[in-house]
Amino acid sequence: MSDKRIQQGFDYAKEVYAALGVDVEQAMQKAHAIPVSMHCWQGDDVTGFDGADSLTGGIAVTGNYPGKARNFEELKQDIKTALSLIPGKIKLNLHASYAIKNGRTLDRDQYTIREFEPWVDFAKENKLGLDFNPTYFSHPMMDGDLSLSSPDEGKRRFWVEHGKRCREIGLQFAKQLGQRSVQNFWMPDGSKDTAVNTQLFRERMTTSLDEIFADRTGMDTAPCALESKLFGMGVESFTVVSHEYALGYAIKNNLTACLDTGHFHPTEMVSAKVSAVMNFVETMLLHISRPVRWDSDHVVALDDELQRIMDEIVWNGFEERVFIGLDFFDASINRIAAWAIGMRNARKALLGACLAPAKALREAEAKQDFTTRLALLEERKTLPLGAVWDYYCLQHNIPADSRWLPLIKQYEADTLSKRT
Ligand code: RNT
Ligand code: ZN
């Protein structure tokens, strides 16, 4: 497809949208400015650099596609390649396990900004914001699948200290980059089989979280989120930080509520929860993933649920209060393509939300004209989003659809295939 044809497609699309009262230029600008946080852990199957030899905590990566990043340099190179294929405002989401220790022996309860300065430099070079996550898995101080709710006081204290350290690091990210840095706390704590003193686990968890969040310094620039979960692999029967627990704690303690789209029963939709939760919290973090039958962490697809989530954010004016982060890990396909597909889809859905005839839809609803509302909702699905998308990519020097994949294939041949 030539640039000229893309321009022609755009001209046509612009007319279609204008007839529905939608300003395409405004929609592109709006969708472009909403930050989407790209998770570093898709690049190396959640391995990290701080010595883990296997992934624990009830999460798993499947597949052994060749070319996985083996170190900081390779991961940076892969991230840069992905960035060249993704339009819009991007943040990079780091995990504490991606500390750059440069031969120093120090553990997760000793990390400071020093271990992350190289990442700050990388973020500055590439005009990225940084988000952060303490890493409560893949580590010898885990007490089985327990961290902050462990009965082992030494281990529990270790993980409390890790949480505090991470908050300080996140605050530095925010300061040094001059933009908000979201800290997300997810702990896999739970039990494979029926737990009988569920309250005791939760009391210890609450004590730990209270210790970590007692100091409110920096909560505005480095807001802290608590992520709930339904179950993990090998942790099927009891989850300490369940949805009710996490939401309750976040509301009571004025934290950010984190909802991961894979962490609910398969028929539950996170899109249906956004405005409900937003009535009671100041900010929310979404982990956008794609659960296939379970919390499988497949690459984010442009499906109805992704579109509904972005609709809820944009139509309700939550762009500043709902943080968007991706969370998937697929090792069965080219890892950089996985990033590109997921990130492009997230941005495409944001553009779709901005291009939707939201005003007309809401007018119909206000008049209780549900016939028009449904008719418009259905027609909206086949509006020429793709034509606007391609033009939008072109405008920002990012390859349009059908142009980015050959670049990845080239990178695979030139670079990834040389990693053994
Ligand atoms: C796990 C959670 C968590 C992790 C990342 C690596 O089920 O979704 O967010 O995926 O922290
Ligand atoms: Zn998640």
Residue 151 belongs to some domain of the structure: yes
What pLDDT digit, counting tens, does each position of 223-243 carry? 999 999 999 999 999 999 999
Taking 90 as the threshold, does the pLDDT of residue 339 lie above it? Answer: yes
- Please tell me the pTM assigned to this model: 0.98
Residue 147 belongs to some domain of the structure: yes
Model confidence at 256, pLDDT cuts 50, 70, 90, reads very high
Mean predicted lDDT score pLDDT of the chain:
98
> Mean of the pLDDT values across residues 356-372?
98
Copy the structure tokens of residue 176: 């040094």
Number of domains the chain is built from: 1
Sign of the alpha-carbon dihedral angle for 320, 283, 180, 329: negative
Residue 377 belongs to some domain of the structure: no
CA of 39 to the centre of ligand 1 (A): 10
What pLDDT digit, counting tens, does each position of 158-192 carry? 999 999 999 999 999 999 999 999 999 999 999 99
pLDDT at 53: 87
Establish whether residue 115 lines the binding site of ligand 1, counting it when its CB lies within 6 angstroms of any ligand atom.
no
CA of 299 to the centre of ligand 2 (A): 13
Please report, rounded to a whole number, the percentage of residues in the chain having pLDDT higher than 70: 100
pLDDT at 164: 98
> Mean of the pLDDT values across residues 216-223?
97
Which residue reads 């939201």 in tokens?
358
Establish whether residue 349 lines the binding site of ligand 1, counting it when its CB lies within 6 angstroms of any ligand atom.
no
Residue 364 belongs to some domain of the structure: no
**Number of residues that this document lists for the chain:** 420
CA of 224 to the centre of ligand 1 (A): 15
> Mean of the pLDDT values across residues 377-400?
98
Copy the structure tokens of residue 358: 């939201």
Residue 370 belongs to some domain of the structure: no
Model confidence at 247, pLDDT cuts 50, 70, 90, reads very high
> Mean of the pLDDT values across residues 366-393?
98
Residue 46 belongs to some domain of the structure: yes
Taking 90 as the threshold, does the pLDDT of residue 1 lie above it? Answer: no
CATH number (domain holding residue 196): 3.20.20.150
pLDDT at 144: 96
Closest to 182 measured CA to CA, from 169, 199, 200, 197: 169
**CA separation for the pair 209, 199 (Å, rounded):** 15
CB 281 within 8 A of CB 256: yes
Among 45, 227, 311, 412, the active-site one is 227
CA of 169 to the centre of ligand 2 (A): 20
Residue 27 belongs to some domain of the structure: no
> Mean of the pLDDT values across residues 194-215?
98
What pLDDT digit, counting tens, does each position of 298-338 carry? 999 999 999 999 999 999 999 999 999 999 999 999 999 99
- The conformation of residue 225, written as its DSSP 8-state character, comes to E
Taking 90 as the threshold, does the pLDDT of residue 278 lie above it? Answer: yes
Establish whether residue 133 lines the binding site of ligand 1, counting it when its CB lies within 6 angstroms of any ligand atom.
yes
pLDDT at 420: 81
SS3 for 98? helix
Outline where 97-237 has alpha helix (H): 117-125, 153-177, 198-213
Q: Give the long-range contacts of residues 203-207, CB within 8 A, separation 24 or more.
A: 204/148, 204/149, 204/150, 204/151, 204/156, 205/148, 205/149, 205/240, 205/241, 205/245, 206/249
Residue 296 belongs to some domain of the structure: yes
> Mean of the pLDDT values across residues 382-397?
98
Please report, rounded to a whole number, the percentage of residues in the chain having pLDDT higher than 90: 99
pLDDT at 342: 99
pLDDT at 418: 97
Which range (49-58, 286-295, 410-419) has the least confidence?
49-58
> Mean of the pLDDT values across residues 29-52?
97
Residue nearest atom 3 of ligand 1, based on CA coordinates: 186
Residue 188 CA: which ligand is closest? Answer: 1
What pLDDT digit, counting tens, does each position of 53-84 carry? 899 999 999 999 999 999 999 999 999 999 99
**CA separation for the pair 257, 280 (Å, rounded):** 10
Establish whether residue 229 lines the binding site of ligand 1, counting it when its CB lies within 6 angstroms of any ligand atom.
yes
CB 297 within 8 A of CB 335: no
Among 78, 145, 297, 319, the active-site one is 297
> Mean of the pLDDT values across residues 1-27?
97
The best mutation among 263, 327, 328, 329 to test binding of ligand 1, ranked by most ligand atoms within 8 Å of the C-beta, falls on 327
Atom number of ligand 1 nearest to Cα 258: 9
CA of 186 to the centre of ligand 1 (A): 7
> Mean of the pLDDT values across residues 367-396?
98
Copy the structure tokens of residue 343: 């990130």
Question: For residue 171, what are the domain limits?
Answer: 33-358
Establish whether residue 59 lines the binding site of ligand 1, counting it when its CB lies within 6 angstroms of any ligand atom.
yes
What pLDDT digit, counting tens, does each position of 126-150 carry? 999 999 999 999 999 999 999 999 9
Give how far Cα 362 sits from Cα of 20, 309, 367, Å.
13, 17, 9
